[in-house]
Amino acid sequence: MELHQLKYFIAVVETGSFSKAAKRCFVAQPSLSQQIIKLEKEIGTKLFDRLGKKVVLTEAGNTLLPGAKRILNESKEIKLRMSEERSGNLGTLSVGIIPTIAPYILPGTLKSFKKENPDAVIKVQENLTDRLIEMLINFQIDIGIMSLPINNKLLSSRELFNDKLVLTMPKSHKLSKSRKIRLKDLDDLPFIALDEEHCFGEQVKSFCYQTSINPDIVCKTWNLSTITNCVSSDVGVSIIPLMTALTNSPKGTLYREIEERPSRTVVSVSYMDRSKKSIALKFEDTVIREYGKLIKKIG
């Protein structure tokens, strides 16, 4: 099985025609057809059913297709990386990041990274965890910045930092005089929650369940900014990431540590069998440093 055979195979799939595939690949049609036949002989089964001028994938062809695309993508990546190594250019990095991290750590990270690596190109996509996992598996992004747990055996992760979860409340709240809050103090309090489709919303729900507390959810939202703004309007209290409290606390609100010390582990996730680009490692290091700068605000 050779790379050019896989390239021809994918071209036939995408064009639906041997003649169109040959034109796309700049080879004669007999030559392309012969290579497809050799590939079929090596695999031991037909990849296409030839229906006149039309070709359709067989079951074996459908099985081969995702693996063929992956092999060609990895081949392109290797060539690109070798070119980058020779030129000293870090190249391009595609990063996915979840919405409960992006607003608080991404702006500073991009600014610092660009200053240190002016020739590098960073492309960012913000999305929910499940969608980012799908994009990693399909090679649409190189790394994803998200929080544990990540339940997919095709992916590996590098821990970047632990972000404490804190209670945010109006300054006039009865708990404001306490320096530390116990989770059981939240039982039956009006509570503003993040929707569980966000991994952070599910994590907070899990913490509450584990400690047998039952906050009175008066508002459920998709956005941490909505939570902090509702808290400032005395709608209720909430649990938010420390990075949110340090960068997006409206006037009239404060935050307190929680005695049980809940936290989330923020990681960089990548496809397990895919070697990580040097630009990815540098970007991850920058994320770690930027979080450290953020934490220094509280001494």
CATH number at residue 35: 1.10.10.10
- Per the structure, the complete domain to which residue 114 belongs is given by 88-160+266-298
Residue 299 above 60 pLDDT? no
Q: Are residues 150 and 71 part of one domain?
A: no
> The domain that contains 243 carries what CATH number?
3.40.190.290
Note whether 50 and 171 are same-domain residues. Answer: no
189 and 207 in a single domain? The answer is yes
142 with 288, same domain: the answer is yes
pLDDT for 38 beyond 90: yes
Q: Output the DSSP codes for the chain.
A: --HHHHHHHHHHHHHS-HHHHHHHHTS-HHHHHHHHHHHHHHHTS-SEEEETTEEEE-HHHHHHHHHHHHHHHHHHHHHHHHHHHHHT---EEEEEE-TTTHHHHHHHHHHHHHHH-TT-EEEEEE--HHHHHHHHHTTS-SEEEEES----TTEEEEEEEEEEEEEEEETTSTTTT-SEE-GGGGTTSEEEEE-TTSHHHHHHHHHHHHTT---EEEEEES-HHHHHHHHHTTS-BEEEEHHHHHH---TTEEEEEETT--EEEEEEEEETTSPPPHHHHHHHHHHHHHHHHHHGGG-
Structurally, how many domains does the chain consist of?
3
The CATH number covering residue 278 comes to 3.40.190.10
Q: Using one digit for the tens of pLDDT, what is the confidence trace for 164-184? A: 988 888 888 888 787 778 888
Q: What is the pLDDT of residue 85?
A: 57
| pLDDT score of 96 | 96
pLDDT tens column, 261-289: 888 899 999 988 777 788 899 999 999 99
pLDDT digits (tens, 9 = 90+) for 185-220: 887 788 888 887 777 777 777 777 776 777 778 888
Percent of all residues in the chain with a pLDDT value above 90, rounded to a whole number:
39
